[in-house]
Amino acid sequence: MSNHLRFFSGKFRRVPQPSGLVAWVLVSGAMLAPPAQADISDTIKPFVLLGYTHDDNLLRLEDGQQLEGSRADNIRQAQAGFSFERPVGRQVFTGSAKVSKVSFDHFSQLDYTGLDYEGTWQWALGNHLNGHLGATYSQTIAPFADFHTNERNLKKQKHNFGDIFWRFHPSWQAHAGYVSDEFDYDLASQRFNNRTEKATDAGIDFLAGTGSRIGVVARRLKGHYPYGLQQGAVLQESDYTQDELKLSVLWRVSDVTQLQFLGGRVERKHDLVAQRDASGTNARLTAQWSPRARLRFSAAAWREFTAVESSVLNYALGKGGSVTADWDLTSKITLNARARREKRDFNGVLASVLPISYNDDTRGLGAGVTYAPTRNSQLNAQYNRDTRDPSNRLFSSGYHANSVSFNASIQF
């Protein structure tokens, strides 16, 4: 499922309400009208959003395949929520919450209600200790890219995190952190992807006067899959421990250029099946460049172990890259474009099951325009194209998908 569908986290019922066209006109008219007064509050900022998307291959099926006589669908979204930011002395509390309702014209059994909320405490103690403590929750429909089904499959994710930074010298800081993620899927056929991942890390950085830094960080990630992975008559254990030792670099090359690197040695070991173990270099490099005040570019390249949400696989080695561009054409109009490509290698996962090699190649392109008629409102149009080519169709399928989306939002 293309990235824009991540925002479609709810069900949009056809109870007495304006038609899609009328609703769009009403929201657009409200946005074009002059604001009556300033924000309701400097702390709490409510917002609403209406969206429409047409996707010509919603379930990411092979060319020529159909389910229920169709591949395409129209998706409607209504969303309401609020964000807040509240400084209390040197402490800052931020967060947001939203409820979304989404409906699908053809695959109406996928209609659902989504919930998203997050909160963060940015704390400081004295002049040398600071950190973050927070949590997020998300309920949305699971992506179709790896698991093609016309049954509703809600994905719930709970994310908790905390970190601490100790500036024990003007040029040095030590830090430690903890992250916990819990994933839960509605469908019994995908419950083996239910998992808990807990990570702890610690590191030390040298801080340059220019704002750059360099350091090392050690991290341990433990994954627990309570239901295991079924391979025919064999139940594969999926619990693992992943140890990492990486170099961490933030280089502020100039006022308009910044590079960030995190990479090093990673070892992933499974509790029972040693044939599924993997090790090697994992790394991610990102670059940001803004040659003009209104023109921004970003790029990334990575080689990392990643989770896979399919019916028979649960991790892969992903190698890829991406680039994005944003251009503020005027004070009210912004153009954007993106390109992304990733190759996933599943050989390590299948080594203990089948003597074959397997990978796939996924490519994505997108372009859009955002118009802000007022300070607190936006109209957005976006086009996306996604393509996948697998080397072997035993466990996955190739697809081509195009989508067009329109959104209108207001912050009060």
192-240 pLDDT, tens digit per residue, is 889 999 999 999 999 999 999 999 999 999 999 888 665 555 556 678 9
For tokens 């800081």, name the residue: 173
Identify the CATH number of the domain in which residue 206 sits. Answer: 2.40.160
Tell me how many domains the chain contains: 1
Q: How far apart are CA 201 and CA 173, in angstroms?
A: 14
Non-local (6+) Cβ contacts of 100 within 8 A are 7, 8, 9, 10, 77, 78, 79, 113, 114, 115, 116
- How many residues belong to the chain? 412
Asked if 229 contacts 312 with a C-beta cutoff of 8 angstroms, the reply is yes
pLDDT the model gives residue 109: 95
User: For residue 264, which of 212, 218, 223, 306 has the smallest C-alpha distance?
Assistant: 218
pLDDT the model gives residue 311: 63
pLDDT the model gives residue 229: 64
Which amino acid belongs to residue 399? Y
Asked if 368 contacts 380 with a C-beta cutoff of 8 angstroms, the reply is yes
The number of CA neighbours under 13 Å toward the Cβ of 46 is: 6
Q: Which residues of 337-351 are buried (b: 16+ CB within 10 A; e: fewer)?
A: ebebebbbbbebbbb
pLDDT the model gives residue 411: 94
Asked if 269 contacts 241 with a C-beta cutoff of 8 angstroms, the reply is yes
Non-local (6+) Cβ contacts of 363 within 8 A are 339, 340, 341, 386, 387, 388
Q: How far apart are CA 294 and CA 280, in angstroms?
A: 40
pLDDT the model gives residue 385: 98
C-beta contacts of 290-298 below 8 A and 24+ residues apart = 290/256, 290/257, 291/256, 293/328, 294/327, 294/328, 294/329, 295/325, 295/326, 295/327, 295/328, 296/325, 296/326, 296/327, 297/323, 297/324, 297/325, 298/323, 298/324
State the DSSP code for 58: T
Q: What Rg do the C-alpha atoms of the chain give, in angstroms?
A: 23
C-beta contacts of 270-274 below 8 A and 24+ residues apart = 270/237, 270/238, 270/239, 270/240, 271/237, 271/239, 271/240, 271/241, 272/237, 272/239, 273/236, 273/237, 273/352
pLDDT the model gives residue 34: 45
Q: How far apart are CA 302 and CA 321, in angstroms?
A: 6
- Give me 364's structure tokens: 């994505």
Domain that holds residue 370: 3-411
Q: How far apart are CA 199 and CA 202, in angstroms?
A: 10
Asked if 261 contacts 288 with a C-beta cutoff of 8 angstroms, the reply is no
For tokens 């030590």, name the residue: 174
Please report which helix (H) or strand (E) contains residue 244, including its range.
Answer: strand 240-251
Q: How far apart are CA 120 and CA 265, in angstroms?
A: 31
pLDDT the model gives residue 41: 65
Q: How far apart are CA 106 and CA 156, in angstroms?
A: 24
pLDDT the model gives residue 400: 96
Diameter over CA atoms, the chain: 68
pLDDT the model gives residue 90: 94
| Per-residue tens of pLDDT for the chain, all 412 residues | 444 343 333 333 333 333 444 344 334 444 444 444 444 567 899 999 999 999 999 999 988 787 777 899 999 999 999 999 999 999 999 999 999 999 999 999 999 999 999 999 999 999 999 999 999 999 999 999 888 889 999 999 999 999 999 999 999 999 999 999 999 999 988 888 899 999 999 999 999 999 999 999 999 999 998 886 655 555 566 789 999 999 999 999 999 999 999 999 999 998 877 777 888 999 999 999 999 999 999 999 999 998 887 666 678 899 999 999 999 999 999 999 999 999 998 865 555 566 666 889 999 999 999 999 999 999 999 999 999 999 877 666 899 999 999 999 999 9
pLDDT the model gives residue 2: 41
